[in-house]
Structure formats: structure tokens, C-alpha cells
Structure 1
Amino acid sequence: MKLNRITWTAAFFISLLSFVAWFRFSYPQLEFVNFSVDRAMAMRIARDYLAQRGEDSASLRTAIVSGSDESANRYLQKTIGFDGLIRFVRENDFDLFYWIVRFFKENEKEECRVVISSASGEIISFQHTIDENEARPPLEREEAKHRAIEFLKSNFYFDLEQYTIQGDLETVLDNRSDFFFSWQRKDIHIPWDKDENAGTGKLLMGVKITGDEVLSFSKNMFRVPDQFNRYLARMQNTGNILSGIIHIFYLAIFTSAIFYMIVRRNHLAMHATKRFYIGLMIFSFALSLLSAINQLQNIIFQYGTTMSFRTYFWQFSVNTIVNALFISVSLFMPSLAGEALHYQVFKEKTSGSFLHYVRSTFFSRDMTQAVVLGYFVCIVMLGIQSLIVKVGQQQAGVWIEHAWMNNLSTAYWPFLAAFTIGFKASFTEELMYRLFAISFGRKIFKSTLAAVVISSLIWGFSHSSYPVFPMWFRGIEVTCLGLFLSFVYLRYGIIPTIVGHYLFDVFWNCSEYIFGASQPFYFYSSLSVLLLPLLWGCAAFLVNKKAVVKPMRWRLNKHQIYNLEVLKTYLNAHKEKFCHQSPYALREEISSHGWDVAVVDYALKDLGMIQEEE
């Protein structure tokens, strides 16, 4: 695939316009993110705090994860918009992102959770969970309230004049009484609906006292009205219904791929690419296992202390291996079926599948051009997405959560988590929805346009359960991206499509470390993951192998080679018997007698009775 100067010029200017759109509309979403406090710093702060309370953290198991106040995020974006959310965070010293450190013992209920601001390192919340039957010294309500107020004053500069009492609850247990007090900021009432009875968003401070101990506290709690939560649940149900419907179509495509692979299992295009896809499948499986290890802190954090940790860990390990195996197999089957279908339906578009590169080389300067084009594809995707979301925000009240940042920050190596997401999504989805689905749709509907539209719609609305509200909007957004990727795939091939998709996913999963405040390690490691395809492109440029397409031939083992000589001897001795048959009929007749189709093809080609596959 050689691109002319006009194509490169158009790609550059379209990418430039797309970058401007992204910078104008999407960049502000990342600029305010602050991860100045990393995992190690947060852990030290939490241990020091427990030591101040007289707790021995060395005897406890620990887990640390990244978190965000999703309910506040979605409510404030819905009511005051994204710009209003940023102002609210800054004006009220509100922490949208934080670290949660859990200290616990196996098979015991008692545990501590320390919540630390990812921006400042301040402890913004704490919870000490103890058994209901554990005794504490008796305490009167007024004394407990006084202690709560003094605690907030000494730790958070609490001004009682700016707050009104919101909660005053006493819980009487067998051996103690727990007192919970909360205060509401007088000047913060954020409505979400014209109906005055629908409730408003409130900013609270709270403390829980028992005996002489502060059991829990929270510097800033954003209280979302119950009616808004019910409204949101209805929207999520719509997204889940859409996803469920689309899942039926996905299963239909996946089942068709399996069926086609079985029926055409002797297709030479499958045989030629089988080793490549087996290698890809093994790499995907290993990457899934490595990803689980990378998320070990999240696994430990979710451990419930009602069972032994060993039992919990083994259950999780088995589930992880099974899921990783399924994902890897789901990559393998549609890919092989797609290779055979593409060879049949789009034989003139050789760069549309990996068969072309398996038969020639992955290290030519044509490959370099395809990789570089993938970077332009990614930038255009960012621009398309930014424009669509901006229109959605203005016309349909769209808002987007940032929960996707949590899993990445929780990982030991966020860059590896981003690479895993980008690699698996780009290969799995592009091979399924572009390589197989478009070829399959073209064969069924006899129309490339219909194949592109249908496959893009299925791909797009399969994302309807993502945290974008209204949830149907995500389907429209991704469908538009799918239409663009389909154009790139049909015009320029599979490589720029996969590279563009990979970069798009990796970019969004690393962007908070690149554009927000973060530690240097996170910044540079994120850049390195984005540059991986370019390294491949540079290697291809330097190696510069000539892209000579080799004929497709079966790989034979020793047993097949022996049978090949036997069959060739027989065919040479009986040429007059087969000379009037067509190549297809001849292949079918010999194969019907139990001969291996690979041996039959080799024998007929060696004897010149059929032509080599181009």
C-alpha cells in the first residue's frame, strides 16, 4: 500500500482540524485531573494516620485502590455542566478523585479504610468498622456532639455558622451507643429538576462517635437526591436493554463465524494464517493473566472476610483463567473465518487482512506508511468524538463520567493496563466487526454499504452500557466512529485500522497521566505505550524487506509428505483417467476417498493439474 502525496496532505489537514476540535472541547476534561499523590505516598500517609490512632498497621493486610465520587460527578455535570463541575471542585475544596487504603485481617469483621486526596494527600474520610458487640465507654449525646464539632474544627477548619445540622442519629447496641452527626452547607442547594419536591444536591460533613473514639468522618460528602438516583437507574436500564438486544446480534455474528470456520476449515487462507492467529491468541491469553496480576490490589480490596483469603484467591484465579481463555478463543475463531471470507469477497483488497502480510512481510516501508496513517486515524477519531459529544452536551444534555480512570490508577503499572485494553479491544473488535462482519455482510446482502452500516451499528450500540448519559448516546457516538473505521479499513487496510483503534483506547486510558498532574513515571510510561506502534513502524522502515507475496501452500508433516509421494505416483500413472475433469471436481473426488485435502492440493499443484493460489 503506497500512499500518494495528496492522501498524506489530506490526512494531515483533517488531523489538524480534528486535533483543534479535541483540544477545544475535550482537553479541559483532563486538565483538572490531579494525581500528584501516587500509590506509595498514599500508603505512607494512611499508615502514619493509623499509627497516630495507636493502630499497628504492620499486623494487618492492606489493599489500595483509586476511587472517584461518581454520584457527585454525574449529578454536577447534569445540573451545572462540566465547567460548573470544575468550578464547584475548586471553590469548595471538593475531591473528586482519591485513594482508598483498606486495612483488615482475614476472617475478621474489624477493618479500617482511609480515604486520601489524590491531589493534596489530605485524609478526607475515614471509617473504622468494628463488631456490633464490641464494648465502648458510655457517652451522652451532647458530649458526643461536642466532640464531633471539635474534631471537625481542629481537622477541617469547620465553621458552624456556615452549616446547619442535617443528621443526628443515635444507634443503641448491646455494649455501646454510636452517634452520627452531619452538617449541611447553608449556601449549597443544587436542584436538578423544575419540580421543587424533586430534591437538591447538598454538601455535608459528618462524624461518627462511639465512646472516646471517632469511628468515621468525612470532610465533604455530596448528597444526591433519591429521585435523581431513581431517574438515573431508569436511564441505566435503557442502556442495559439496548446492550442486551445488541448482544443477540453479536452472538449471531459470533455463531456465524464459528459455523463458517468449521464449514471452510480446509480453506487455504485459514491454513496460511492459522499460526499467526494462534500466536496472537496465546499472547492475548498471557496478557489477560498479566492484567489480572496487575490489578491484584483491586482483587485484594474486594475480598470479603467471611471466607479464607486462600479460597477467595483460588476462586478468582479459576474465573480469571476461564475468562482469559474465552476472550482468546473469541479472537481466534472470527479471525480465521474473516480471513477466508475476505479472500473470497474482497480478493482485490489484499491489505484488508493479515493474510497479505503473512504471505509477504510485516517489515516493509509499506507497513511503516500504514502505521503512521494509524496515528492520523486516531487523531481524526478524537476529533469526531469531541464534536459529537459537544453537540450531545448542547442538544441532549449528555454528560460523561470519569470512572474509567479508577481501574488504571489502581493497577501497579497503569501503562500496562492501558496497553492491555488497547491491544485486546483493537484486535478483538476490528477482526470481528471489520474483517469478518463486513466481509460476511457483503456476502449476505451483496452490498458493502449495508455491511458497513449494520456492522457499525452493532459495534456502536454494544457500548450502550458505558457510563455516558443518556446511555443511548454512546451507541450513536461509537457507531459514527465505526463508520469512519470501516472507511479506513476498506480504503487502506487492516493495519491503520487496528493501530488507530489501539491508539484511541490507549490515549483515553493514559490521558489523565499525560495532561493532568501526575508523577513523572506515569507520564513517561504512558507516552511509551503510545509510541509502541511507531517503534514497529521505524523497525519496518529500517529493515525494509521487499513485499513479495508468496504463493499459498500447505505446510506438511512427515506423514503427509509420505502420502504426497504416494498420491503423486498414482496420479502420474493414471493421468488419462483424470485429464477431462475440472480442477474442483478432481479435488473433491480424491478428497472423498479419505485423502487429506492438504496432500491433494499439493499433489495437484506439483503436477500442474491446478494453479497456485494468488
Structure 2
Amino acid sequence: MRRSQSSLLGTLAIIGILLFIATNVWPSLSGAKDKAVINETRPAVTKHAAISAAEDYTARLNGNTKVRGTIAIYQSDKLLSGYVQKNGLVHGYKDHFAENVPIDFYRVELAAEGKTVYKVDVNMTNGSVLGWQKRSSGSAPSVRDGRLIAETYLQQAGIPLEGLQMLIPNTTKPYQFAFEHRGVKLGEAKLREIVEIRDGEVTAYRKELLVPKSHTDWVGKQDRAASTMTRWNMIVSVIMGMAAIALMITRRKQIAFVRGLWLTFTFLVLYWINNWNMLPAFKSLETDTIDPFLASDTTGGMMILMNIVVAVMGAVGYFSLAAGQPLWQDRGLHLWPRWREDGFGEDVLAGMKRGYLLACFLLGLQSLLFFIAEQRFDMWAVNDPSGSMYNLLKPELFPLMAWTAAISEEAIYRFFGIALFRRLLPSTFLAVLVPSMIWAFSHTQYPIYPVYTRFIEVTVLGVVFGYAFLKFGFATVLFAHAIMDSLLMSLSLMNMGGFDDVALGLFYIILPAIVAWTIWRLHRNFRGRRSIHAPPG
């Protein structure tokens, strides 16, 4: 039986590896025309250098008064990125606009004397200043005076006025003067020079490719759909947590309340570390790419909120682990051995080995689903500053997040979710499918469009996880999930290019094996000590 299981997983792993190669490597080797995409820009300029460039530039704006940079955040124009990919304009954008209107850039926050605050956008590849804005609540000038001041600024900046057409200022932003380049556009996106004027002085400048309203509206509709699905995931997950609490109360004599505590503790510690690590990423969420001062400083509040959310997730995960066990006992299944059982260590070690094989299959299946979505359903992704390695305090800690996802999601949607819905629904397939769909709802907030493609992909993966859980047990899917995410996150770390990043990425890939072997060894020693102290015959 064990040999047939290993053979099945080995075959699936080979299939997964072949699928991964076929969908990622074969198109380029075969000369097949690949769909052009906008990948995250690898910075040639450090954040420290970007801050220095912004300080020098802003000091000149401020009459050579000392200016101090406080933080540099990686930002991305997600609307423009999506527009050029969705409409097949990537090559045209890279050839004619990428240098002066880059999608990815640094945004540097600075403070000058007199509590004056600036935000300066810096090119990530050459360190040039792209645009700037000074915090101001001053009054807007008349159209005549504003035009004169704006045109003077553009000329001094070396931008010829020939070929520019000034647009009538928007009544909601009368301080903003936009000059459109005649005949210069990318698809329907128009190139504009934006100058903002308050109290008779220039307070902002930037160059932009303004995407058409139809694209902005479409993305907004997609984002609202993703938000709705995410809310449904949170609502149903909380209901599942309440059901787990009710079961813990009614079945308390059958529940070992210490079970799951170590997994919950691991989840909480790693996730709270990640929340601290994401401080710059939280900062990127509060910064509008067009008007940097529209959003208020909410980083501290977001940090507190996220820590509370993580605590709730940890509690739901613990309740799921504790309440799931008697539900499986009712069905005569033993899918998660206890520490004091003789087979616990072997189950963990075998689960790790099966997890690596299953992860290979899942990676190949995911690659195939993405390939089909890209080729047949025009799927595309935009760079997400809130999830970027460049917006982490310690990027080398990022792959630890693989374990938080594995622990919480396998506990809630597999160990408890399948058991709960098996009692409520008439078939095993539906009991696996429904929690997989609930799980998939939480993944639609990733910046992949159309959003339903991610929902379908994660649902399919969830069904595979579900049947693997029923066949091989909890340890297998826990390790498979951690290994799969570790591989993907480690590749992101290794892509940063440094030798240390590559070495650390390889370490994270083999870390599940180290963890499993350590647990097996500790349990073996525990079992040996217990047998020594056991009473004779």
C-alpha cells in the first residue's frame, strides 16, 4: 500500500515537473511567441541613493535649505501597467515611454525646515527625479496666472511648449494645470505634463500617461468583485470558527485542548514578525500614485489592525484543529496522529517526503492553469508594492510566511472544513469543493486580472489538496503547502540577485525537510525515554 502511494505521488511529481517545464521553458526554447508582460523592475539604484538624490533635488527647490529624507518606498502605477498589458502595448511602452514615465519607481518622503513635507519620485534604474510634490493647502491661482506660472516652470525644466495643449483646469482641482502632448499617446493613453500651483508657487510636477476612463472603470469593477469575494471568505471563515467553538463545547470530552497549540503559536509568531517586516509595504498602501498627499498616515493603525486580524486567524485555526479531530473520529479516520502516539514522528517524516512530491505536481498544475489563463482568457498581472520584496524591512525573512499560510489554511479549509461540510453535504466531492471555493475567495485580492481566473486556479488546487488530505493525512498537505509556497517565495528572494539571497533561498527550500527530520528525531528520543520509564510487563 505504501509503495503504491509513493508510486502514485512520484508519477504525479514527474507530471508536475514536465508541466512546469513545458509551460515556462518550452515557449522560449521553441521560439513560440510569448505574451509580453511588465515584470517588476530590478532596481539599479539603492533606496539610500534614491533618498540622497531626492534630498539634493528638494534642497534646490527649497532654496538650498537642508532637507532630510525619511523613507523610500517602492511604488508602481498599477493602472498603467494593466492597461499596456491588457491592450498589447508593452513593446510600444518600453520603446518610447519607459524611461521618462516608468511604471515602477521609488517614492521618497522628505522633511524640510518649517515642517514642510515633500514627496519625490525617483527612477529606480538611473536615479533621476521623475516628479515631486510639496504638501500645501494654499489657494489656486486664476487660469491666466496659473498658465503663465506653469509654462514658465516647464520652459525652465527644459520642456518645450511647442506641441503642448493646455487643458481647462478641473473644477475639483483648480490648482492643477495639465498640458497634453499633441499626437503623442500610447493606444488611447495620452502623455501629459502636470503642474500644480498654490499661493502663486509651483507645488508639484509630474509627467504621466493618462489611461482612458474605460480601463479605470473596468479595473475598479474587478477590484470591487475581488473585495466582495474576500469579504465572503472572511464572513464564512468566521462562521466556520464559530461552528468549531460550538463543537468544542458540545464535544469537549472528546477533545484534547492542547492539540494544535504549538502550530498556533508558530503561526502567530511568524505572522507577527511578518507584520513588522511589512512596515514599508503598509506605507505603500497609504500612498496614492497620482496625488501622494491624498491618503493620511495610517501605517500605525494598519499595523494594529493586522495584528488583531492575525490573532483572530490564529484563534480560528486553533479551534479548527481542536474541533476537527472528533469529526474525523466519528468517521473512523485517523488523519493526524498525536505526539504521544508511537507513529507520530514517522507520520511527520513520511508527510514531508510526500509533501515534496505533491508540491512538484501542484506547481506544475498551477503553471498549466496560469498558461491556459494567459493564452485563452487574456490573464495579466500588475506589480504590487504591498507584496513586493522591495518593500520589506528584511526580505530574507519573507519565505517564513510559507508556514503561516500552510498552518492556518490547511487547518481551517482542509482539516476542519472538509469534516464540517461532509456532515452538511451529501457527497465527499462537494465537501472538498465548497471549502476550496471559500479558500479561493481569499486569493482574489492578488493583482491578477480578470479576478475570476485566480478564483478558478485556487479552487482547483484546493480540490487537489483536499483529496490528498483524505488519502495521505494532515501532515502531507501541511508540508506540501509549506514546500510549494517556500519554493515560490524563495525564487522571489533568489531573483534579487545576491549570492546571499540565492543561498538563503536554497536553505528555505530544504527547510521543510530539516523541520520534519528534527521533529522525527525529537519524537524518537521522547518515545525512547517513555519506554525506559514504562512499568515492566
Bin the TM-score by the shorter chain: 0.7 to 0.9
More deviation in 479-488 or 89-98?
89-98
2:121 to 105, 112, 115: 115
| Structure 1, gaps ≥5 residues long | 191-199, 552-605, 607-614
Structure 1's 491 and 524: CA in aligned 2 closer, same or farther, altered over 3 A? same
Structure 1's 44 and 545: CA in aligned 2 closer, same or farther, altered over 3 A? farther
Give the deviation of 1:357 after TM superposition: 5.0
Structure 1's 206 and 143: CA in aligned 2 closer, same or farther, altered over 3 A? closer
Pair 1:359-2:341 in alignment: yes
Cα offsets for 1:307-342 (capped at 9, x unmatched)? x99xx7875665454333212211111111112222
Structure 1's 16 and 286: CA in aligned 2 closer, same or farther, altered over 3 A? closer
The residue aligned with 2:513 is: 534
Q: Counterpart of 2:514 in structure 1: which amino acid?
A: L
Greater C-alpha radius of gyration: 1
Give the deviation of 1:129 after TM superposition: 1.9
Give the deviation of 1:544 after TM superposition: 9.1
Contact 1:359 / 1:550 at 8 angstroms: preserved in 2? Answer: no
d(CA) in 1 for partners of 2:293, 2:103: 28
The residue aligned with 1:571 is: none
Structure 1's 17 and 51: CA in aligned 2 closer, same or farther, altered over 3 A? same
Contact 2:263 / 2:407 at 8 angstroms: preserved in 1? Answer: no
d(CA) in 2 for partners of 1:398, 1:260: 42
Cα offsets for 1:459-514 (capped at 9, x unmatched)? 22343444332323322111111111112222222223122322433444454443
The residue aligned with 2:270 is: 287
Structure 1's 455 and 321: CA in aligned 2 closer, same or farther, altered over 3 A? closer
Pair 1:165-2:161 in alignment: no
- Secondary structure at the aligned position of 2:194 is classed as strand
The residue aligned with 1:201 is: 189
The residue aligned with 1:562 is: none
Give the deviation of 1:228 after TM superposition: 2.5
d(CA) in 1 for partners of 2:507, 2:164: 51
Matches within 5 A, 1:155-234: 164-165=164-165, 167=167, 169=169, 180-184=177-181, 186-190=183-187, 200-208=188-196, 215-219=203-207, 221-234=208-221
The residue aligned with 1:386 is: 367
Structure 1's 324 and 231: CA in aligned 2 closer, same or farther, altered over 3 A? closer
Structure 1's 456 and 315: CA in aligned 2 closer, same or farther, altered over 3 A? closer
Structure 1's 141 and 368: CA in aligned 2 closer, same or farther, altered over 3 A? same
Q: Counterpart of 2:317 in structure 1: which amino acid?
A: L
Contact 2:267 / 2:408 at 8 angstroms: preserved in 1? Answer: no
Q: Counterpart of 1:73 in structure 2: which amino acid?
A: S
User: Identity percentage over the alignment?
Assistant: 20
Matches within 5 A, 1:293-308: 293-298=276-281, 302=286
Contact 2:38 / 2:81 at 8 angstroms: preserved in 1? Answer: no
Give the deviation of 1:389 after TM superposition: 2.7
Pair 1:414-2:391 in alignment: no
Matches within 5 A, 1:551-570: none
d(CA) in 2 for partners of 1:285, 1:527: 25
Pair 1:13-2:14 in alignment: yes
Contact 1:89 / 1:96 at 8 angstroms: preserved in 2? Answer: no
Matches within 5 A, 1:296-445: 296-298=279-281, 302=286, 318-347=304-333, 350=334, 352-353=335-336, 355-357=337-339, 359-360=341-342, 363-364=345-346, 367-403=348-384, 406-420=387-401, 422-445=402-425
More deviation in 475-484 or 223-232?
223-232
Cα offsets for 1:388-439 (capped at 9, x unmatched)? 233233333332232166454212012324423x222221111111111112
d(CA) in 2 for partners of 1:549, 1:382: 38
Q: Counterpart of 2:66 in structure 1: which amino acid?
A: D
Contact 2:165 / 2:182 at 8 angstroms: preserved in 1? Answer: no
1:485 to 456, 465, 469: 465
Give the deviation of 1:17 after TM superposition: 1.3
Contact 1:281 / 1:328 at 8 angstroms: preserved in 2? Answer: yes
Give the deviation of 1:125 after TM superposition: 2.3
Cα offsets for 1:15-42 (capped at 9, x unmatched)? 3213214524899868664234343333
State how many pairs are aligned: 511
- Secondary structure at the aligned position of 2:252 is classed as coil
TM-score, normalising length: structure 1: 0.71
Contact 1:38 / 1:519 at 8 angstroms: preserved in 2? Answer: no
The residue aligned with 1:95 is: 102
Contact 1:148 / 1:181 at 8 angstroms: preserved in 2? Answer: no
Contact 1:294 / 1:411 at 8 angstroms: preserved in 2? Answer: yes
The residue aligned with 1:587 is: none
d(CA) in 1 for partners of 2:84, 2:365: 25
Pair 1:454-2:434 in alignment: yes
Structure 1's 330 and 505: CA in aligned 2 closer, same or farther, altered over 3 A? same
The residue aligned with 2:50 is: 42
Give the deviation of 1:112 after TM superposition: 0.7
Contact 2:468 / 2:477 at 8 angstroms: preserved in 1? Answer: yes
Structure 1's 30 and 75: CA in aligned 2 closer, same or farther, altered over 3 A? closer
Give the deviation of 1:258 after TM superposition: 1.6
d(CA) in 1 for partners of 2:55, 2:66: 9
d(CA) in 2 for partners of 1:187, 1:22: 37
2:443 to 451, 463, 473: 463
Give the deviation of 1:247 after TM superposition: 4.8
TM-score, normalising length: structure 2: 0.80
Q: Counterpart of 2:16 in structure 1: which amino acid?
A: S
Give the deviation of 1:539 after TM superposition: 4.2
More deviation in 472-481 or 28-37?
28-37
Cα offsets for 1:565-590 (capped at 9, x unmatched)? xxxxxxxxxxxxxxxxxxxxxxxxxx
Structure 1's 346 and 442: CA in aligned 2 closer, same or farther, altered over 3 A? farther
Structure 1's 86 and 331: CA in aligned 2 closer, same or farther, altered over 3 A? farther
d(CA) in 1 for partners of 2:283, 2:386: 19
Cα offsets for 1:278-312 (capped at 9, x unmatched)? 23323333333323322333556749999x99xx7
The residue aligned with 2:225 is: 238
d(CA) in 2 for partners of 1:439, 1:383: 28
1:474 to 423, 442, 454: 454
Cα offsets for 1:364-396 (capped at 9, x unmatched)? 4x6444324323333332322232233233333
Pair 1:63-2:71 in alignment: yes
Q: Counterpart of 2:406 in structure 1: which amino acid?
A: S
Structure 1's 90 and 357: CA in aligned 2 closer, same or farther, altered over 3 A? farther
- Secondary structure at the aligned position of 2:120 is classed as strand
- Secondary structure at the aligned position of 2:249 is classed as helix
Q: Counterpart of 1:204 in structure 2: which amino acid?
A: R
Contact 2:120 / 2:132 at 8 angstroms: preserved in 1? Answer: yes
Contact 1:101 / 1:115 at 8 angstroms: preserved in 2? Answer: yes
Contact 1:207 / 1:214 at 8 angstroms: preserved in 2? Answer: yes
Pair 1:264-2:251 in alignment: yes
| Structure 2, gaps ≥5 residues long | 28-33
- Secondary structure at the aligned position of 1:111 is classed as strand
Q: Counterpart of 2:24 in structure 1: which amino acid?
A: F
Structure 1's 467 and 278: CA in aligned 2 closer, same or farther, altered over 3 A? same
- Secondary structure at the aligned position of 1:359 is classed as coil
Q: Counterpart of 1:165 in structure 2: which amino acid?
A: Q
Structure 1's 88 and 499: CA in aligned 2 closer, same or farther, altered over 3 A? farther
